[in-house]
Amino acid sequence: MKECKIIIMGFGSVGQGIAQSIALKKAMIKDKYGVELKVVAAVDSSSSAINQDGLEEMLLIHSKNSEGKLSSYPDYGSEVSGLDVLDAVEYDLLMEATPTNIETAEPALSLTHKAFKQGKDVVTSNKGHLAIKFKEITKAAEDNGVEFKYEASVGGAMPIINFSRETLSSCGIKSIIGILNGTTNYILSRMTSEGSTYDITLKESQELGIAETDPTQDVEGIDAACKTVILANSLLGIDATYDDVEVNGISNITSHAINLADKDGYLIKLIAEVSPNTLKVSPRLVKKGSTYDVSGTLNMATIKTDLAGDVTVMGLGAGSLETASAMLTDVISILKDKY
C-alpha cells in the first residue's frame, strides 16, 4: 500500500477542517485510489505535533481546542514550528493553511519555496503569496517538478479554478464576474432583509463568527481583490498583482442606499470583475432575481466563455470543512497523477 505523508501547516479553522476531512475520507481514498493518507505533522503558530508513524486527526483537533496548542498532543507534542518542521519529518505533501498576509506574503511564501526545493507537492488555501508573487511561485513549482494546487484560495467550496481548467478546457475565458467574499455577502444580505445599519450588522456577524475580530480584509474588499488576482493569473493568463486591482469595500454602504436600490428592484453586492481590461472590486447594483441574487455566505461567479457562453458556479465561500473539501480535492488530484 502506497502512503502519502502530509504536513498540515496552520491549525486554525481551515487546518482543523483539513484534519477532520482526512479523518472522514481517508478510508474512501485508500479504497478508491490505493493510497493511505498519513498526517505526520500538524503545526500551529508556536508549536506542533510530529510523528513519522502518523498522528490521529481528531486527537490533534482535541489537543488544540482543549489546551490551545498542538504541543499538548500526547507523547508527540513539540515546540518545533514553522520552517523547521519541514526538516524535522519525512513528508510528501504540504497542506498550507497559514493566515493570509498581503504585505510580506509570509509565512506562506517561504514555506512554499522550501517545500518545492525539497521536491514536495503543495496544496494551499492561502491568498497572500499568490496575490503578490503568483508568477514566481508557479514558476518555482514548475522548475522543481512538483505539483502546486490552490483551488481553495478562491471561493472556498465553490468550484472555479479546476472547473474552468478541466470542465471548460475547450473554451477561452473572456471574463469572470462574481461575488467572491462570503462575509460581505452575508452583511449586505442581512442589511437588505433586516433593514439594519452596517455597524449593527457587522457586530452581529462578528458575534456569529462570520466576520473576523478585525474585519478589514473582508469589508474593505482586500480578500476579494486577492482572489481577483489569482483568477486573472490562473484562468486569463494576466500577469497581475494585488496593486493592479482597483479596490473599494462596503464600509460606506448605508441602509438608506440599500433601501433605495430595493425600491427599484436592485440589490447592492460586492462584485469582483476579472477581464483583460478590468481588474476591479466594488459595490455594484445587481438585479433582483439575477444570478447575482445569492444570500448568506454564498459565493458565485459567472464565467464568460467563447464556446459555452456564460457558465455560472456557486458554493459556500467560507467555512472550515467547506474550504478543506477543496484542498482535499486537490490532494486527490495529485494522488491520481502521481500514485
* Residues taking part in catalysis: 227
Q: Which three cell numbers stand for residue 270?
A: 460586492
Distances from the Cα of 174 to the Cα of 196, 231, 308, angstroms: 37, 12, 11
Residue 32 φ then ψ, to 5°: -85, -35
Q: How far is CA 100 from the centre of its chain?
A: 9
Does the CA dihedral 164-168-172-174 come out positive or negative?
Answer: negative
Q: Which three cell numbers stand for residue 67?
A: 489546551
What one-character DSSP code corresponds to residue 314?
A: E
C-beta of residue 85 within 8 angstroms of C-beta of residue 71: no
C-beta of residue 126 within 8 angstroms of C-beta of residue 230: no
- Which uninterrupted H or E stretch holds 28? helix 13-33
Residue 320 φ then ψ, to 5°: -60, -60
C-beta of residue 187 within 8 angstroms of C-beta of residue 193: no
96-105 core/surface letters (b: 16 or more CB in 10 A; e: else): bbbebbbeeb
What one-character DSSP code corresponds to residue 165?
A: I
Burial of 213 (0-12, 13-18, 19+ CB in 10 A): exposed
